[in-house]
C-alpha cells in the first residue's frame, strides 16, 4: 500500500471502476459501521460507449465490455462523489474501492496492469431475474450502443430507413427510463440503464430536430467523433 499525498488529482479525474473485489462494499455491514455503496452512487458505462482511456488518459476508446463506476458529483463533472475538496479527502477512505487502493501517482503501473481485470458489471450487482436486471436486459437488447453506432453511420451515409430506426431506439430508451422511474428506481437510472442515448448523439455528429411537418428528424450537426469506423466515416 502507498502513502497518498492527498492532492486529489485522481479523485477529480473520475471515480473508480468497480471490480469483483469491491462487491462486498455493496452489502450492508451488520455492525452498522461501514457505509455501503448504494446503486444510486454508481453509473454504468455500457459496452460500445466512447470513453476517455483511463488511466492512459489519451483520446477516446470504445468500451468492449461495460464498466460500473462511482458516479461524478454532477452531470458533466466526473469528480468522484465521495471526494471532499475541503480538506481534499475521501469521505469513504477506509472503505474505498480496489482501484483507489492501487492508485499511486508515482508508480501508475500497478493500476494500469490491473485496470481491466475482473471488472464488475451491473449483472454482478443486481439480483438475477429481478425487476431491475430484467429492465436492464431488455434495454440492452433494444438500445445497445453498438447498434446505435451502426444506425448513426448508416444514416450519415444516406440510409433514410436508419433514421426511423434510430429515432425509435431513442424513444425506447426514454420509455425504459420512464418505466424505471415508475417503479421507484429513478435515482439509480445511471446505474441500471447507463447514460441516455440522446446524450451520445453528439459523438456521432447528429441531433434530433422537429421538422415543419411536426415530426422528429435526425440532422447532421457536426463531425463523426466516434472512435470506431472513424476512417470509413470520412467518406460519409
Residues that bind ligand SF4 (CB under 6 A): 10-11, 15-16, 70, 80, 82-83, 90, 92, 96-97, 100
Nearer to ligand SF4 by Cβ, of 13 and 124: the residue is 13
Cell reading at 204: 456521432
CA dihedral 41, 60, 202, 204 (to 10 degrees): -130
Burial 109-148 (b: 16+ CB within 10 A, else e): eebeeebeeebbbbebbbeeeeebbebbeebbeebbbebb
Nearer to ligand SF4 by Cβ, of 52 and 150: the residue is 52
- The CB-of-71 to ligand SF4 minimum distance in angstroms stands at 10
Cell reading at 141: 437488447
Cα–Cα distance list, 4 to 54, 103, 107 (Å):
19, 9, 12
Helix (H, G, I), strand (E, B) or coil at 91: coil
- The CB-of-230 to ligand SF4 minimum distance in angstroms stands at 31
- The CB-of-26 to ligand SF4 minimum distance in angstroms stands at 14
Nearer to ligand SF4 by Cβ, of 16 and 194: the residue is 16
Cell reading at 59: 483520446
- The CB-of-25 to ligand SF4 minimum distance in angstroms stands at 10
- What totals of helices (H) and strands (E) does the chain contain, helices first? 9, 10
Nearer to ligand SF4 by Cβ, of 36 and 215: the residue is 36
**Which of 138, 203, 145, 137 lies closest to 170 in space, CA to CA?**
145
Cell reading at 137: 436486459
Nearer to ligand SF4 by Cβ, of 81 and 153: the residue is 81
Nearer to ligand SF4 by Cβ, of 52 and 217: the residue is 52
- The CB-of-27 to ligand SF4 minimum distance in angstroms stands at 17
8 A C-beta contact, residue 122 and residue 66: yes
- The CB-of-53 to ligand SF4 minimum distance in angstroms stands at 18
Amino acid at each position: 500500500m502507498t502513502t497518498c499525498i492527498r492532492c486529489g488529482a485522481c479523485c477529480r479525474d473520475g471515480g473508480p471502476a468497480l471490480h469483483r473485489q469491491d462487491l462486498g462494499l455493496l452489502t450492508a455491514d451488520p455492525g452498522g459501521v461501514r457505509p455501503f455503496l448504494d446503486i444510486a452512487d454508481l453509473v454504468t458505462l455500457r459496452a460500445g460507449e466512447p470513453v476517455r482511456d483511463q488511466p492512459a488518459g489519451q483520446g477516446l476508446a470504445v468500451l468492449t465490455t461495460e464498466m460500473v463506476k462511482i458516479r461524478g458529483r454532477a452531470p458533466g463533472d466526473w469528480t468522484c462523489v465521495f471526494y471532499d475538496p475541503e480538506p481534499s479527502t475521501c469521505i469513504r477512505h477506509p472503505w474505498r474501492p480496489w482501484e483507489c487502493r492501487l492508485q499511486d501517482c508515482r508508480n501508475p503501473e500497478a493500476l494500469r496492469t490491473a485496470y481491466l481485470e475482473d471488472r464488475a458489471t451491473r449483472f454482478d450487482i443486481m439480483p438475477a431475474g429481478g425487476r431491475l436486471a430484467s429492465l436492464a436486459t431488455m434495454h440492452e437488447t433494444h438500445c445497445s450502443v453498438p447498434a446505435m453506432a451502426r444506425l448513426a453511420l448508416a444514416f450519415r451515409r444516406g440510409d433514410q430507413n436508419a433514421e426511423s430506426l434510430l429515432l425509435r431506439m431513442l424513444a425506447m430508451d426514454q420509455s425504459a427510463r420512464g418505466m424505471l422511474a415508475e417503479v421507484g428506481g429513478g435515482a439509480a437510472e445511471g446505474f441500471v440503464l447507463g447514460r441516455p442515448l440522446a446524450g451520445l448523439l453528439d459523438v456521432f455528429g447528429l441531433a434530433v430536430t422537429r421538422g415543419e411537418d411536426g415530426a422528429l428528424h435526425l440532422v447532421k450537426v457536426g463531425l463523426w467523433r466516434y472512435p470506431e469506423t472513424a476512417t470509413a466515416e470520412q467518406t460519409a
